[in-house]
Homo-oligomer: A and B are copies of this chain.
């Protein structure tokens, strides 16, 4: 399961931390390239513990629910490294919007344009958030250590991804609006 390696990586980067923390890290850091529900993460953490790839202990808190904090074990680290060494293929993407575009002639063009605007807005918001992180933390990427350079590259992947969606949305909106005008 790939999720287990994502969790191991998360614990390798920052530990000890709870299932809750891991979900938050997925959401905040790499939301455009990884997502998991808390149910999935908790389930997986229990399984990883059974396998001995992570260890955990209970932290008693007052005023808050107790939490179970996890660390990666050396077995887990070995497994993570083995996994990194395996060549992986691109993920299958199932993007509804592309299907809608293909049969978009079935509805008024404005419906499609609205959907494109909606997507544009989402990606613009995410792009700005990522660019803020870039501005605040990575002014001089070439001066960074390897670890930070890698984090920066992951961030760059996100920035490019969002910018790419935005550019396409604009291209598509323009083409559809010009098409509409040409009908008058």
Q: Quick check: is A172 within 8 A (CB to CB) of the other chain?
A: yes
User: Could you say how many copies of this chain the assembly holds?
Assistant: 2
Known contacts A115-B88, A175-B149; decide if A94 and B34 are in contact (CB<8 Å).
Answer: yes
Kindly identify, within residues 88 to 138 of chain A, every residue whose CB is under 8 Å from any CB belonging to chain B.
88-107, 109, 111-112, 114-115, 118-119, 122-123
Interface of A is mostly: helix
Which bracket fits the contact residues of A?
A: 35 or more
User: Complex: how many Å from CA A84 to CA B152?
Assistant: 37
> A9-B99, A34-B94, A102-B9 are contacts. A149–B81 as well, Cβ < 8 Å?
no
- Closest-CB distance, A143 to chain B (whole angstroms): 10
A residues engaging B (CB < 8 A)? 2-3, 5-6, 9, 12-13, 30, 32-35, 77, 80-81, 84-85, 87-107, 109, 111-112, 114-115, 118-119, 122-123, 141-142, 146-147, 149-154, 156-157, 160-161, 164-165, 167-168, 171-172, 175-176, 178-179
